[in-house]
Amino acid sequence: MGEPPYRAAQILAWVHRKRAVTFEEMSNLSRALRARLAADFVLARLEPAFVADSADGTRKLLFHLPAERGVRAAAIESVLIPQVDRPDDARDRLTLCISSQAGCGMGCRFCATARMGLVRNLRPAEIVGQVRAGIALAAPTALTNIVFMGMGEPLANYGPVKTALEILSAEWGYAISPRRITVSTVGLAPAVSRLIAETGVNLAVSLSATTDPQRDRLMPVNRRFPLAGLLRACRELPLPRRKRITFEYVLLAGENDADADARRLVRLLHGLRVKVNLIPFNPFPGAGFAASPRARILRFQAILRAHGIGATIRESRGQDIQAACGQLAAARPAA
Ligand code: SF4
């Protein structure tokens, strides 16, 4: 637009840090520039079409993304999760779980979103827009953590996710430290290495199986990136000292929750700085799996702990509001 470069920083700060809703508010820009911006651009916001409140404090946000300029309409979800992960951790946390794609093409068999297939990749504004809406809904409580664990595989939408991470962590943006952001992936091995080299975020790898045949069955992506290569990529990551990789493991009754699975998991993770997050399966209609009984989950955890692996159990949240990822969007699709 022929403006000096520092104007870009001013405008970005108005859009993201000060969360202006009109160009008119941008008081350090000349009146003429504000008028040109208003004529040529739209200051769009993502507003939830629906908010579901759970009795346990979890709030699920549903967004309808309109079709425009060659992109399809889509429905996506975010979840606000007030959290005390560990009983010994008294700090209040408010985590926002966001989506990186509408639907997902990875086909994990225990996931409701997989049933939708991939609708489309989200653009950076649609990823950041979920955070902005989450901040507004949570106010005056501040978000403490962001996790990319909603709909979609973040590393299958690498460029827009990376741009969103830059905006979320920038001083002119949301100033959220990368240490408080976790990106969860099924393990697209080359992109895992790139993500850690290019951003300082925490990594969570969804594993959920301990042999290739078992993982091929539960997570078809394993046929492209089998366990050995994935774990090698994790071993070679330039992890800062004291940082650990989280491995997520969805426990499915009779599928992957035996003592032998726990022992194999110990062997697979040997030599890695890890913590394991055990996730009780959140059932959805037609899933074809059952959640592991509580006693089995505790036994699985005990085996990991006995071998020196920190293992926590993620408590299922918001079951009364269809909080299994993808359920709400499937029930209320975009027009
Ligand atoms: S678990 Fe994640 S990667 Fe797998 S299908 Fe569901 S949304 Fe996609």
- Whether residues 135 and 245 share a domain: the answer is yes
Could you tell me the CATH number of the domain that includes residue 228? Answer: 3.20.20.70
* pLDDT over 60 at 242, yes or no: yes
Q: Is 152 in the pocket of ligand 1 (CB under 6 A)?
A: yes
Distance CA 253, CA 269 (A): 22
Is residue 179 within 8 A of residue 66, CB to CB? The reply is no
Q: Is 77 in the pocket of ligand 1 (CB under 6 A)?
A: no
Per-residue pLDDT reduced to its tens digit, 148-169: 999 999 999 999 999 999 999 9
Q: How many domains does the chain have?
A: 2
Ligand 1 centroid to Cα of residue 271, in Å, is: 27
* pLDDT over 90 at 286, yes or no: no
Q: Count of CB atoms within 10 A of residue 93's CB?
A: 14
Beta strand pairing status for 145-148 and 101-103?
A: unpaired
Q: Count of CB atoms within 10 A of residue 92's CB?
A: 11
Range among 49-53, 71-75, 160-164, 283-287 rated most confident? 160-164
* Closest C-alpha to 287, from 135, 49, 126, 114: 114
* Closest C-alpha to 154, from 117, 116, 124: 124
- Whether residues 265 and 122 share a domain: the answer is yes
- Whether residues 65 and 122 share a domain: the answer is yes
- Whether residues 128 and 14 share a domain: the answer is no
**Containing structural domain, residue 10:** 1-43
- Whether residues 277 and 165 share a domain: the answer is yes
- Whether residues 29 and 56 share a domain: the answer is no
- Whether residues 209 and 139 share a domain: the answer is yes
- Whether residues 311 and 175 share a domain: the answer is yes
- Whether residues 71 and 104 share a domain: the answer is yes
**Residues recognised as catalytic:** 77, 325
- Whether residues 112 and 243 share a domain: the answer is yes
Could you tell me the CATH number of the domain that includes residue 28? Answer: 1.10.150.530
Q: Is 76 in the pocket of ligand 1 (CB under 6 A)?
A: no
Average predicted confidence (pLDDT) for the chain: 92
- Whether residues 54 and 129 share a domain: the answer is yes
- Whether residues 260 and 196 share a domain: the answer is yes
Q: What is the pTM of this model?
A: 0.92
Ligand 1 centroid to Cα of residue 55, in Å, is: 26
Residue with tokens 């709909």: 151
Per-residue pLDDT reduced to its tens digit, 167-201: 999 999 999 999 999 999 999 999 999 999 899 99
Q: Is 26 in the pocket of ligand 1 (CB under 6 A)?
A: no
